[in-house]
Amino acid sequence: MKTSDKIAKAFSDAGSSLKSIAKIALLSRRCTISRRDAAHGDALIILGNGPSLRQTIERRSDALKCNPSLAVNFAANTAEFGVLRPKYYVMADPHFFRSDEPNVCSLWRNLSEVDWPMTLYVPSPQRMSVQRRVPNLKVEGFNAVGADGWRWLRHAAYRSGLAMPRPRNVLIPSIMIAIKAGFRRIYLVGADHSWLKTLSVGDDNAVLSIQPHFYEDDKRELARSATEYRGYRLHEVLGGFTMAFRSYHQIAEYAAASGVQIFNSTPGSFIDAFERREIDL
C-alpha cells in the first residue's frame, strides 16, 4: 500500500471510529442477551428464510429438530415453524413493530401462541413493549447499531453487545446474538443471499429486487417489497448489498478472534465469508 493510501485509510478509520463512538453513545442501550443453556450444547443452526431452506428441511429435518435453532422474520407464519420449534427467534426490521398489515398481525398472533420455551430477540428500544405483547416468550434486547473504524474498537463494541457490523439484514444480528449468547459452532442454512439473480431495472428506470423465500410470499408482501424499492437507484441498492457482504467478513474476523466457528451450510449461497460445510450434527 502506498504511503498516501495508508494516510487516507488512517483518516478514514479515525472518522469512522469517531462516528461509531457517537452512535453508540446516542443509540445503544444495555444489552440483555443471556448466555445459552449449557445443557443444550454449543452448536446452533440459524434458519434463514432463503428458498434453499425448503431443500434443507427435506434433507436434514432430523438435525433441525434435534438441535437448537434460531428462526427469523416471518418464519412463524409457516407450517414448518410448529414442526421445527426453534428455541430462538430474531426480529430486526422496524416494519414488524409499527405495521398493522395482515401478515404482521398473523406473525404476532402466531408468536403469542408458542407453547414451547423460546427466546425472542428484538431491538432494545422495543423490548418492553414486545414483552407485554407476547408474555409467553422470553424477550431480550440487542443493539442494532453498526460500528466501523478501528478493529480494536469494533471488537470491544461487539463483545459488550453495544454494536455490531452494520446490520443490513436480519442474518447479521442473528449471528452476532448467537456469538454473544456463547455458541461456539454456528451453522447457516437458508442463507442464499442470491439477490443479484433477481435484480432488475424496468423501462421506467424503477429498480426491483425480488428476494424469494422458502415460503411463498402473498401479493400484499410482494407489493410492499416493490414499494420499498421504489425511489432507490441501482447504485444505492448495490451499495446496500455491498454493506451486507462486508459485514459478514467483519463477523468472520471477529468470530475467529473469539474462537467461534461459523459454517455456511447453504447450497448455492452468495456469502463468501464463512467456511462451507454440511451440517454435521
Q: How far apart are CA 253 and CA 248, in angstroms?
A: 9
132 three-class SS:
helix
Q: Please, which residues have CB within 8 angstroms of residue 201's CB and are 6 or more apart in sequence?
A: 207, 208, 234
Burial of 219 by CB count in 10 Å (0-12 exposed, 13-18 middle, 19+ buried)? exposed
pLDDT tens-place values along the chain, 281 residues long: 777 777 878 778 899 999 999 999 999 998 999 999 887 789 999 999 999 999 999 999 999 999 999 999 999 999 999 999 999 999 999 999 988 888 999 999 999 999 999 999 999 999 999 999 999 999 999 999 999 999 999 999 999 999 999 999 999 999 999 999 999 999 999 999 988 888 888 888 888 877 766 666 556 655 555 566 567 888 988 898 899 999 999 999 999 999 999 999 999 999 999 999 999 98
Domain extents in the chain: 3-192+259-268
Q: Which of 122, 60, 84 is nearest to 277 (CA)?
A: 60
* Encoded amino acid at 104, one letter: V
pLDDT value at position 8?
Answer: 77
Global pTM value: 0.91
Read off the C-alpha cell for 129: 413493549
Angle between helices 102-112 and 219-229 (to 10 degrees): 120
Strand partners, 122: 141
Q: Are 187 and 281 in contact (CB under 8 A)?
A: yes
